Structure 1
Amino acid sequence: MSIVRVREHVNPLSKKYQVPATPPDWSTIYAKPHQPLHVDIGCGKGHFVQDMATLQGDRNFLGLEIREPLVDQANRWRDELGLSNLHYLFCNANNSIRPLLTSLPTGILQQVTIQFPDPWFKRRHQKRRVVQPELVVDLAEFLVPGGIVFVQSDVEEVAIEMRDRFDEYPAFIRQHDDWLPDNPMSISTERERSTLSTSDEPIYRALFVYAKVS
């Protein structure tokens, strides 16, 4: 597999990324478009959802990534593997998640993962972080009751912010009082494996179940 080199960080607030993504025709994207859906926000090179899609043929997977060359590369790899339950989209999740989820078949969004997002350490840059209150509201609108959101980061400040923003929304019920000791997914990301193998620093994880408020 050839490797595409891209910038490590992309400013989602720049003009280039302010136009929401146009939803595709999902019936041409997935062989079975009404299967349960897992969305990975900020999927990077896409290996995590590629591995998940390989293991779980009864579920569809959608990777969202703001760096377009990585999306093009990931879709080429998907085609080489012949995976009809996997797709990658180039978009800014903060302004595209609502139109994308609105266009999907009703009642299929069951899992969302947000893993090791760009930390944007400087205070003036923190509005660039992916987990903004509006994103939480959008996910709450489309997740099925019992659906899950899993977030993790090796940067404690970022993990706390993500955790707190989901905690603030009453319908998201955190499944552990402290940080999760282990990854509840069947697959680890490249970043997670690298961090665990080269550092003694912890990974901060939180799992939420969506309980629809009547």
Structure 2
Amino acid sequence: MAELKDNKRKLYRKEKAETRKAFKQARFEDDQQISATPSGDESGSNSFSTTTEVDLPRKRFYRQRAHSNPFSDHSLEYPRSPDAMDWTKLYPAYYNEESKDVQSRVEIADIGCGYGGLLINLAAEFPQILCLGMEIRVQVTQYVEDRIIALRNKYKDEPKKNFQNISVLRGNAMKFLPNFFYKGQLSKMFFCFPDPHFKQRKHKARIITNTLLSEYAYVLREGGVVYTITDVEDLHLWMVKHLEEHPMFERLSKDWEKQDKCVQLMWNSTEEGQKVSRNKGNKWVACFKRLPTPEDCE
């Protein structure tokens, strides 16, 4: 029985991988739809139908461990610098024929985006802004990618809700964030329910540290906001302490949080946030503004 389930899972992932490959090979056209299932032609090779809807992925086929060691060698692909990054396959609708590049830059980053719940909500809230999810786990990244492909296909005729402005890539933000983004490129960064790394010897692996905050300040523009939310009070206090101690960040007030739409979105958009709500657990939020760079540091 277990072997049968495993074979079914492998077959499902193979079909989805072929769909992802087909979408990456050609830009997403308004009049084109690609099916999730390959069909054989007379020569015996696989080809993709351009008429069948792409089904939303089923999460049970993408399950894996909740956390991943950020210090491990995950054989990640990353550009040598932001100039070397090719965004055309992630945001094909924004491709510019003259410049041969994407005409806009990513402004919102969801670090450790999980299964993409927040990304989906950000797509509707900021339809003209490019949003990127970064996730280190292979199968979770593939799930989000397949989810976005299906949503783009389903809503392709709705210009205000076609999910062309969001994408996901597998990456380690703790190591390679400046490889993807220019100085001051981002306006918002989200850290939603990150791995708490409870053991003291593991605290160095937390996503908020003094060293990492300097990198976040580099890619975040003046006035940009770092959003944090967790259900672990100790981690909340840790993140607040390090952000308050960093000279480039200033905490925003509770009144500001109450009126900010993004705080409302991240409260219950993620899978983890929904689980905490179901279990009637606590959530702690802290938002920090990126301060102007001192003149002597420019």
- TM-score scaled to structure 1, two decimals? 0.87
Q: Could you tell me how far 1:21 is from its partner in structure 2?
A: 2.6
Rounded to whole Å, the distance in 2 between the matches of 1:45 and 1:205 is: 20
In the alignment, what sits opposite 1:21? Answer: 78
Identify the match of residue 247 of structure 2 among 170, 188, 193: 170
Rounded to whole Å, the distance in 2 between the matches of 1:182 and 1:10 is: 34
Whether 2:82 is the aligned partner of 1:2: answer no
1:51-200 correspondence to structure 2 within 5 Å? 51-82=121-152, 83-102=163-182, 107-176=184-253, 184-185=261-262, 186-187=264-265, 188=268, 189-199=270-280
Please state whether the residue corresponding to 2:78 is helix, strand or coil: coil
How far does the alpha carbon of each residue in 1:14-70 deviate from its partner, in whole angstroms, 9 at most, with x for none? Answer: 2336x6733641244331642561101111111211221133211111111110111
Structure 2 vs 1, CA of residues 133 and 140 (structure 1 numbering), >3 Å: closer, same or farther? Answer: same
Identify the match of residue 49 of structure 1 among 109, 119, 126: 119
Is this contact kept in 2: 1:33–1:60, CA < 8 A? no
Rounded to whole Å, the distance in 2 between the matches of 1:114 and 1:168 is: 18
- Worse-matched range after superposition: 23-32 or 64-73: 23-32
Whether 2:69 is the aligned partner of 1:11: answer yes
Determine which structure has the larger helix proportion and give its number. Answer: 2
Is this contact kept in 2: 1:21–1:92, CA < 8 A? no
How far does the alpha carbon of each residue in 1:118-153 deviate from its partner, in whole angstroms, 9 at most, with x for none? Answer: 111111222221112222101111211111111011
Rounded to whole Å, the distance in 1 between the matches of 2:286 and 2:228 is: 5
Please state whether the residue corresponding to 2:236 is helix, strand or coil: helix
Please state whether the residue corresponding to 1:75 is helix, strand or coil: helix
Whether 2:289 is the aligned partner of 1:209: answer yes
Is this contact kept in 1: 2:115–2:271, CA < 8 A? no
Please state whether the residue corresponding to 1:34 is helix, strand or coil: coil
Please state whether the residue corresponding to 2:222 is helix, strand or coil: coil
Q: Work out which of the two has the higher radius of gyration on C-alpha atoms and give 1 or 2.
A: 2
Structure 2 vs 1, CA of residues 33 and 123 (structure 1 numbering), >3 Å: closer, same or farther? Answer: farther
Q: How many residues align?
A: 209
Of structures 1 and 2, the one with the larger relative CO (CA 8 A, separation 6+) is 1
Structure 2 vs 1, CA of residues 20 and 173 (structure 1 numbering), >3 Å: closer, same or farther? Answer: farther
Rounded to whole Å, the distance in 1 between the matches of 2:271 and 2:63 is: 16
Is this contact kept in 2: 1:21–1:90, CA < 8 A? no
Please state whether the residue corresponding to 1:134 is helix, strand or coil: helix
Please state whether the residue corresponding to 1:146 is helix, strand or coil: strand
- TM-score scaled to structure 2, two decimals? 0.64
Please state whether the residue corresponding to 2:132 is helix, strand or coil: strand
**Percent identical:** 27
Gaps of 5+ in 1: none
Residue type at the aligned position of 1:75? E
How far does the alpha carbon of each residue in 1:141-173 deviate from its partner, in whole angstroms, 9 at most, with x for none? Answer: 121111111101110111111111111112211
In the alignment, what sits opposite 2:6? Answer: none
Please state whether the residue corresponding to 2:110 is helix, strand or coil: strand
Please state whether the residue corresponding to 1:150 is helix, strand or coil: strand
